[in-house]
Amino acid sequence: KDGAKVVIGDLLDKEGNEAVKTLGADKAFYVRCDVTKKAEVDALFDAAIKKFGHVDCCIANAGIVNDGNFLDLKEADFDRVLAVNVKGVFLTGQAAARAMIAGKRKGVIINIASTNAVVVQHGQVTYPVSKGAVNLLTKVMAISLADNGIRVVAIGPGPTRTEMLDNVMKNH
């Protein structure tokens, strides 16, 4: 509505393409991207620059959850949640900042944290740990990128009605 051009990066092809239809193909496009893989994140930003010329804003919103008590949590599950929720924010922020700096643009990077970064609930280990890390990573990024005119902020929403929350609620 305000003239923004949007690039959607996700693993959910159907949903990504449906979002593009809603926004309009002249204003948005979808790129399949696994945020845990640097090459894919870099390709996402390369595609954005090729299509629209520059990057002014980035929202790092990828996130997953894994239910389980502390003593029962498997290492692979811990690693996967941290990879998506923390490494994904790191790789996305790096790529966005590099694109902004290369394009001589001041911009903003918005990381989606959670109230679970400071308040935990029974049966959740990896999600609150990952969101606490996102809060600290945001502070590090903000200090590191300030001299380049890039603002970095985190938003910490509470429970939001999504498919991920519905799955968590079914398991409790």
> Is 30 one of the annotated active-site residues of the chain?
no
Instruction: Out of 96, 127, 129, 137, pick the active-site residue.
Output: 127
The pTM is what? 0.90
Of the candidates 116, 103, 128, the residue with the CA atom closest to the CA atom of residue 45: 103
User: What does the alpha-carbon distance between residue 153 and residue 85 come to, in Å, rounded to a whole number?
Assistant: 16
Q: What is the pLDDT along the chain (172 residues), one digit of tens a residue?
A: 788 999 999 999 999 999 999 999 999 999 999 999 999 999 999 999 999 999 999 999 999 999 889 999 999 999 999 999 999 999 999 999 999 999 999 999 999 999 998 998 888 999 999 999 999 999 999 999 999 999 999 999 887 666 655 555 565 5
Of the candidates 102, 93, 92, the residue with the CA atom closest to the CA atom of residue 152: 93
Of the candidates 160, 75, 88, 166, the residue with the CA atom closest to the CA atom of residue 126: 75
- 106: its two tokens: 């001041």
DSSP 8-state secondary structure symbol assigned to residue 48: H
Q: How many other C-beta atoms can be found within 10 angstroms of the C-beta atom of residue 55?
A: 22
